[in-house]
Chain A
């Protein structure tokens, strides 16, 4: 889940190389992320923090509330202790 399409596509190519991973969906904001989880029921979600319409932390909170079994891993370039703390409090696994 990343609002930057270049980053999303690059990550998809990089992760496709891993044989034990299957990319089941892409989203560009928090609401699309929720819709994708509803539809595809992934085992893990790679979530960007800063996204339009709904940020990654809120999306994580909602995913964890509805589907606690989905593992959420935050992926971001921002060294922001507060965001990391909020993400962990929202239920992110890392």
Chain B
């Protein structure tokens, strides 16, 4: 698990990463509730935080693709799949720890306003995997680092907005609301909303299943990298 350990160390080598991935998100647990929103504000927007955290973590993989490290890995006794797998596992672990801390803190700070914390944690974890896959797939499309960063961050912003991570979908026009259903972000909101409403677990499970399939689809796209 050399690549796994290296990915973990690499993630925290950058102090900015440390701040943005660890410290800042946890601050969101302390944000108060807002009238009209079912969840505390921090948890309402937490999906967007996870989405961008995944992007920040996966910048290193984008850099490897652009700088030629990924090509040189081809000469090492290490398959590209193993490299990607261990890296993603490391970042998924970081996000899981962040999610757990967030839910734990939220339970302490927000009390009963957080619905079903374990299921909430599961939803956030699945969405973390989806976010990592989206960033991986997006990074694989570009060969220039700056273009990759700019395009991907813009795309994620639009995805988060349309998906209802920043504001409730009810306030969006109907057709946008319909479009939102084909984004993974919508299904996180749907899952969390089901928990908040004490809705059927089957619907919650379906939402998670949709996010899992999105993760697999984006992983398949992002894992195919040309070595030359």
Are any A and B Cβ atoms less than 8 Å apart in their complex? no
Residue ranges of B at the interface with A (Cβ–Cβ < 8 Å): none
